[in-house]
Amino acid sequence: TLGLQGELTANGTLAPGHIPGSAKHFLADGGTYEGADQGDYRGDEQGLIDTHLGGYRAAIDAGVLSVMASFSSWNGLKHSGNETILTEVLRGPLGFDGFVVSDWNAHGQLPGCSNESCALAFNAGIDMLMAPDSWKPLYHSMLAQVQSGEIPMARLDEAVRRILRAKVKSGLFDHTRPSVEGQFNQLGSAEHRAIAREAVRESLVLLKNNGSVLPIRAGARVLVAGSADDIGQASGGWTLTWQGTGNSNADFPNGQSIWGGIREAVREGGGTATLSADGSFTTKPDVAIVVFGETPYAEFQGDVDNLDFAPEEPLAILRRLKAAGIPTVSVFLSGRPLWTNPEMNASDAFVAAWLPGSEGGGVADVLIGDAQGRARNDFAGKLSFSWPKNAVGEPLNVGQPGYDPLFAYGFGLTYATPRVTPTLPEVSGVNVTGSIVDRYFVDGRFVGPWSLMLRDAGGEFRMGEEKAGASPRGGVTSRAADGRAQESARTLTFGPGGGQALITAGPVDLNRQANGEMALSMRYRVEQAASGPVMFGVGGGLVDVSSIFSQGVGQWRTIKVRLSCLRDAGANLAAVDQPFWLTTTGAFAITVEDIQLASNEGDAICPAH
């Protein structure tokens, strides 16, 4: 608050270069049962105060001008309609006198409310309703509710006064305009990039450094593996797009990937740096840096059943390098601490880099030393969240009974304070067979527990790990094929009698994804045009894609169909056990890969039902 908004002064506006702040998402947004997005905090008031209130109290004391209410609930009562916390607590003992804003159409989730009408939220203490697509009917309904007395005029005056006060403090009614207004040359300026690079440098947390592998001598022969050259992955969600997916380095003008920063630092020191995504090499390196971690997500797309870092390829790379006698450094990208004991055991050094974004040079500033191997910058970052000892991850809040993390809140090694990390247990403590909601076939594999089923008039055949298979009468066949990588795809061939290819497992609820305008996405190449209609979708909700698949035979393309469209076509999104379905009545051949849910970036469609 003090950094971005600055100190408030009596009868004055915010200082130049500062903007109004918002403390969000009030309250216990990250403390819901089983970590569910828009979920429910289950506990008493003292638990809310002890664990979740601290940051808000500090922000309010610093004069933050607004607070955003959470989508979530407290013991089943939605915060957006909870007068106790929005009015009695915020305006009472916490002394907040700014305005309260709701989250995206959150008022529409309250009992008796819709996106277009909700007196309950306003009367409970929401001063500004976030209504991105429903503001006009909401305005008319609120006008009628004030005229009828359902919303007291005094309550309306109070909300208007709070909003105007924040606007006045922000300087919106001053004749002078902000000094940077219209100066687009400030975007990505050298000064701003230097600050961003400093933030990267100071946020890195060193969790392991056995044998003092770090810092790396600048003159060394360095192999860089994994996703080191992907600025999009290093930036995470809410980057250019909602989910942060589909971004390439070309979308970040003047940005530098982690690989770019390492290459620059090593070459300046007289060494050599080689990029090899799979960790292969011809000349044995002195050291290897493997960059890996979570792929971008936002909001509910980041919900997980446990804290196990599931992808297997990074661990395989680390183990191959270790077996070759090469010292390994892991740079882990994530929006949260995850259980990574196997990866730590396979690494000599392990760095939690979080999401460094477009200033990868900040990572190299700390990892790469000078020509003599002396540190140019020491680690300064400390854990702002406890690091889990197992994939269950509970409890992880300081002061909770049984608090016993792998690395405690505030932990972080430095070059000046070395410590040997022993071999860690590799028992996750969870059953890893739970359903993956949004990924079905990626990297040439069906993501467990999902599997491919082939059907024809003779019955069905569920495929396991085999690379090829066929339905009982051979009406549909599947075989491994090359896509973005070797055997990353499957070619589905339908005989003259047609058939179905579907992905199946236990049911999952995709209603939230549909409400967020997610889409069923597939990369494909038509090998043989269909002789009959082709239907695509999820179990119970199919759309006709015959005309789409009749175009561009032999060319790789991507199709995205909105889940809301498939719901309208009849899919029960509350219990989806077949999230992918491809069926035709005649001969047809298509190669598919990357079957998953993806965000709608204006490229999702709704074909005819």
Per-residue pLDDT reduced to its tens digit, 222-231: 999 999 999 9
199 and 130 part of one domain: no
Is residue 31 domain-resident?
yes
Mean pLDDT of 519-548: 95
Burial (CB < 10 A; 0-12, 13-18, 19+), residue 62, is middle
pLDDT score of 53 more than 90: yes
* 544-562 residue pLDDT tens: 999 999 999 999 999 999 9
Is residue 107 domain-resident?
yes
Mean pLDDT of 594-605: 92
pLDDT score recorded for residue 437: 86
CA distance 561 to 94: 47
pLDDT score of 385 more than 90: yes
pLDDT score recorded for residue 507: 86
pLDDT score of 432 more than 70: no
Q: What would the two tokens of residue 354 be?
A: 């979080």
223 and 355 part of one domain: yes
119 and 153 part of one domain: yes
Q: Following DSSP, what letter does each residue of 168-215 receive, concatenated?
A: HHTTTTSSSPPTTTT-GGGTT-HHHHHHHHHHHHHH-EEEEEGGG-PS
Helix (H, G, I), strand (E, B) or coil at 226: strand
Banded model confidence at residue 302, pLDDT cuts 50, 70, 90: confident
Is residue 9 domain-resident?
no
Report the phi/psi class of residue 146: left, alpha or beta, with left for phi > 0 and alpha for psi in -120 to 50: alpha
Mean pLDDT of 188-200: 95
CA distance 198 to 218: 20
The domain boundary, picked from 352, 367, 382, lies at 367
Mean pLDDT of 182-188: 87
Q: What would the two tokens of residue 104 be?
A: 């995206």
Mean pLDDT of 452-474: 90
- Number of structural domains (the chain) is 3
- Are 538 and 583 in contact, with CB atoms under 8 Å apart? no
Helix H or strand E encompassing 446: strand 445-446
Peptide bond before residue 215 is cis, with ω within 30 degrees of 0? yes
Q: Which distant-in-sequence residues (6+ apart) come within 8 Å of 516 by Cβ?
A: 299, 300, 301, 599
pLDDT score recorded for residue 318: 98
Mean pLDDT over the full length of the chain: 93
CA distance 373 to 287: 13
Q: What would the two tokens of residue 111 be?
A: 């009992």
Task: Give the Cβ contact number of residue 172 at 10 Å.
Answer: 11
Task: Tell me the percentage of the chain whose pLDDT exceeds 70.
Answer: 99
Burial (CB < 10 A; 0-12, 13-18, 19+), residue 454, is buried
- Are 432 and 390 in contact, with CB atoms under 8 Å apart? no
pLDDT score recorded for residue 187: 87
197 and 329 part of one domain: yes
Domain that holds residue 146: 22-169
Higher per-residue pLDDT: 460 or 127 = 127
pLDDT score of 516 more than 90: no
Banded model confidence at residue 466, pLDDT cuts 50, 70, 90: confident
* Beta strands 489-494 and 588-599, pairing class: antiparallel
pLDDT score of 183 more than 70: yes
279 and 358 part of one domain: yes
Helix H or strand E encompassing 232: helix 231-235
pLDDT score recorded for residue 470: 94
CA distance 314 to 280: 13
Mean pLDDT of 30-49: 89
354 and 457 part of one domain: no
Is residue 3 domain-resident?
no
The domain boundary, picked from 341, 367, 393, lies at 367
Banded model confidence at residue 434, pLDDT cuts 50, 70, 90: low
CATH of the domain at 491: 2.60.120.430
pLDDT score recorded for residue 312: 87
Banded model confidence at residue 6, pLDDT cuts 50, 70, 90: very high
CATH of the domain at 143: 3.20.20.300
- Are 409 and 398 in contact, with CB atoms under 8 Å apart? yes
Banded model confidence at residue 435, pLDDT cuts 50, 70, 90: low
357 and 250 part of one domain: yes
Q: Following DSSP, what letter does each residue of 238-289 receive, concatenated?
A: SBSBSS--S--GGGSTT-B-HHHHHHHHHHHTT-EEEE-TT---SS--SEEE
Q: What would the two tokens of residue 447 be?
A: 């993501």
CA distances from 501 to 108, 532, 568, 590 (A): 38, 15, 22, 11
pLDDT score recorded for residue 453: 93
Is residue 380 domain-resident?
no
* 333-378 residue pLDDT tens: 999 999 999 999 999 999 999 999 999 999 999 999 998 899 999 9
pLDDT score recorded for residue 609: 65
Catalytic residues: 103, 299
444 and 573 part of one domain: yes
590 and 552 part of one domain: yes
362 and 443 part of one domain: no
343 and 484 part of one domain: no
pLDDT score recorded for residue 300: 76
pLDDT score recorded for residue 310: 85
Is residue 387 domain-resident?
no
Mean pLDDT of 12-16: 89
The domain boundary, picked from 169, 184, 204, lies at 169
Closest CA to 453 of 505, 488, 489: 505
pLDDT score of 304 more than 70: yes
Helix (H, G, I), strand (E, B) or coil at 14: coil
